[in-house]
């Protein structure tokens, strides 16, 4: 069995270790929730101050041109494109993931209807365990467009549903509960062979695992700015449409900044060419400035091997965590790993389930850990999960060791039974 010294040695040998300096993290905190809200980059406070005090305060409305505010959605989109295998000019930053999903799902459904007005293709398929916002958006769109949403229990069922009734497959590449990764390239190819369009939610993949949208020949993708992209709470999201569809599909939120000539102020909507039509209204400049700082923390890894190097470290971290859980928590407390053990099938998170008779204590166990400075989160379900994100940009191996040690203490001392840990906040 490895010791803490072994983990410290891994930190010393870690070539990505210097990237941690890019972040402000409170002392004494082991932050294992970057999959939910990324840590704050050190550059963000100064950059947002500059935007507020200098660009807004002094530049006033001139800053739309002088400080290039108007270019933010495309400029940050181009940076995100480097992380998800998209081309320049193919990604735009706008709105939230839910809204962008609404836009691309509508575009996909419209395309199917236009191409085959009389066809049988009136089904949307997704996974029951997909993130709820994806399912809610699809439910609403199915109703509006006269489609039916069918939910499958596992991706193993995919081959059976890829038929002439299916219009759009809507999948999240990395599952928010288990962290399981779907094979984007293989699934997209199978779907296309059956004449089916695929919409990918990259919320837990962008900045977490290497993604290659163009190599996969994917159709549409959206993703979150506040998780692994470190854009800050409620950061704007991104959207990508394969250039082969981009000029063909329209999206329903036809706002003025998605117009081909917004400052012509014409009466009729004429969509901008390509991805720019996915902009609806005015960009949230301060939030975008913060998001850019977050995306830059990932691009800073490019000279050190980029997403491939980050992925390797992420797997080393999650493998180390799983080994320690097996060694120290499985036999004594019945803790189970609820994420795939095969590294190829695992994103940058590991979820744990407590022994069956302790399932109801999962929330309190997470609170007890947080009180010790180990911040993960809790996801209700069957089973309830303790969820831990491992962000290689700012997490070290000794912290993995310490996090497990804290969990051992929480369980051994039954700290989760303390009443202060039972009270549930509005956000878990
Ligand atoms: C897969 C997935 N999609 C979307 C979202 C959130 O979307 P929004 O930013 O619109 O709230 C989340 C949030 O956790 C998510 O996990």
Out of 35, 98, 181, mutate this one to test ligand 1's pocket (max ligand atoms within 8 Å of CB): namely 98
- Res. 200 pLDDT band, cuts 50 70 90: very high
Indicate whether residue 224 lines ligand 1 (CB < 6 A). Answer: yes
pLDDT of res. 118: 76
Q: DSSP label at 174?
A: B
- Residue 424: what pLDDT? 85
To the query of whether residue 102 is one of the catalytic residues in this protein, the response is: no
Q: Which two tokens stand for residue 110?
A: 């419209």
Residues ≥6 apart with Cβ < 8 Å to 368: 410, 415, 416, 418, 421
Give yes or no: 278 in active site: no
Alpha helices in 126-254 (DSSP H): 132-145, 158-161, 184-193, 213-216, 243-246
**Within-domain flag for 51:** no
41 among annotated binding-site residues: no
Q: Alpha helix locations (H) across 85-193? A: 97-115, 132-145, 158-161, 184-193
Which of 299, 316, 347 terminates a domain? The answer is: 299
Q: Which of 267, 299, 331 is the last residue of a domain?
A: 299
Residues 152 and 135 in one domain: yes
Q: Are residues 171 and 217 in the same domain?
A: yes
- Residue 254 predicted with pLDDT over 90: yes
322/181 same-domain check: no
Q: Which residue has the higher pLDDT, 426 or 194?
A: 194
Residue that is written with structure tokens 């590991």 in the block? 350
Q: Same domain for 398 and 358?
A: yes
Q: What is the pLDDT of residues 290-325, one digit of tens each?
A: 999 999 999 999 999 999 999 999 999 999 999 999
* Domain count of the fold of the chain: 2
* Whole-number Cα distances in Å, 61 to 48, 71, 255, 261: 17, 14, 21, 19
Which CATH number goes with the domain that contains 349? 3.90.1150.10
Catalytic annotation on 227? Answer: yes
Same domain, 156 and 265: yes
* Letter string b/e over residues 281-290, b meaning 16 or more CB atoms within 10 A of that residue's CB: eebbbbbbbb
Q: Which of 129, 203, 221 to mutate to test the pocket of ligand 1 (most atoms within 8 A of CB)?
A: 203
Ligand 1 center–CA 98 separation, angstroms: 7
240 annotated as a binding-site residue: no
Ligand 1 pocket test: pick from 131, 171, 284 the residue with the most ligand atoms within 8 Å of its Cβ. Answer: 131
- Per-residue pLDDT tens for 386-428? 999 999 999 999 999 999 999 999 999 999 999 999 988 888 7
Range of the domain at 21: 4-41+305-421
**133 marked ligand binding residue:** yes
165 and 216 both lie in a single domain: yes
Last residue of a domain, one of 243, 273, 299: 299
Write the CATH number for 75.
3.40.640.10
Does the CB atom of residue 134 touch ligand 1 within 6 A?
Answer: yes
Closest CA to 400 of 388, 410, 414, 409: 388
| Same domain as 160, residue 277 | yes
Consult the annotation and say whether 401 binds a ligand: no
The mean per-residue pLDDT over the stretch 204-230 comes to 98
Q: pLDDT tens digit string along 159-172?
A: 999 999 999 999 99
Average pLDDT over residues 131-160: 96
Task: Indicate whether residue 226 lines ligand 1 (CB < 6 A).
Answer: no
> Is position 226 annotated as part of the catalytic site?
yes
């Amino acid at each position: 069995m490895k010791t803490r010294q072994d983990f410290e040695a891994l930190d010393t040998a870690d070539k990505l270790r210097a990237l941690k300096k890019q972040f402000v993290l409170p002392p004494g905190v082991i932050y294992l929730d970057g999959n939910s809200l990324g840590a704050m980059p050190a550059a963000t406070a100064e950059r947002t101050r500059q935007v507020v005090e200098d660009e807004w305060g002094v530049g006033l409305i001139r800053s739309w041109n002088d400080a290039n505010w108007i270019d933010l959605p495309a400029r940050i989109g181009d940076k995100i494109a480097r992380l998800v295998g998209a081309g320049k000019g193919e990604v735009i930053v706008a709105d939230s993931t839910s809204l962008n999903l609404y836009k691309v799902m509508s575009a996909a459904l419209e395309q199917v209807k236009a191409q085959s007005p009389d066809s049988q293709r009136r089904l949307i398929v997704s996974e029951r365990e997909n993130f709820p916002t994806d399912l809610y958006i699809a439910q609403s769109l199915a109703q509006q467009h006269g489609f039916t949403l069918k939910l499958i229990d596992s991706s193993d069922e995919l081959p059976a549903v890829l038929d002439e009734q299916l219009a759009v497959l809507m999948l999240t590449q990395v599952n928010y509960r288990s962290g399981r990764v779907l094979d984007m390239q293989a699934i997209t190819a199978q779907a296309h062979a059956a004449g089916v369009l695929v919409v990918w939610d990259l919320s837990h993949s962008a900045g977490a695992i290497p993604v290659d949208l163009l190599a996969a020949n994917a159709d549409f993708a959206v993703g979150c700015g506040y998780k692994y992209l470190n854009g800050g709470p409620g950061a704007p999201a991104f959207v990508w449409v394969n250039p082969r569809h981009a000029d063909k599909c329209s999206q329903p939120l036809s706002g003025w900044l998605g117009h081909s000539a917004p400052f012509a102020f014409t009466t009729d909507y004429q969509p901008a060419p390509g991805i720019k039509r996915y902009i609806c209204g005015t960009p949230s400049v301060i939030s975008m400035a913060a998001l850019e700082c977050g995306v830059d923390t990932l691009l800073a890894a490019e000279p050190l091997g980029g997403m491939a190097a980050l992925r390797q470290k992420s797997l080393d971290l999650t493998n180390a965590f799983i080994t320690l859980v097996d060694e120290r928590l499985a036999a004594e407390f019945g803790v189970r790993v609820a994420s795939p053990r095969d590294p190829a099938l695992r994103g940058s998170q590991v979820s744990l389930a407590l022994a069956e008779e302790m399932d109801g204590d999962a929330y309190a166990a997470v609170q007890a850990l947080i009180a010790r400075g180990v911040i993960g989160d809790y996801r209700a379900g069957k089973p309830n999960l303790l969820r831990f994100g491992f962000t290689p940009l700012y997490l070290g191996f000794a912290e993995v060791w310490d996090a497990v040690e804290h969990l051992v203490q929480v369980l051994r001392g039954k700290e989760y039974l303390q009443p202060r840990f039972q009270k549930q906040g509005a956000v878990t």
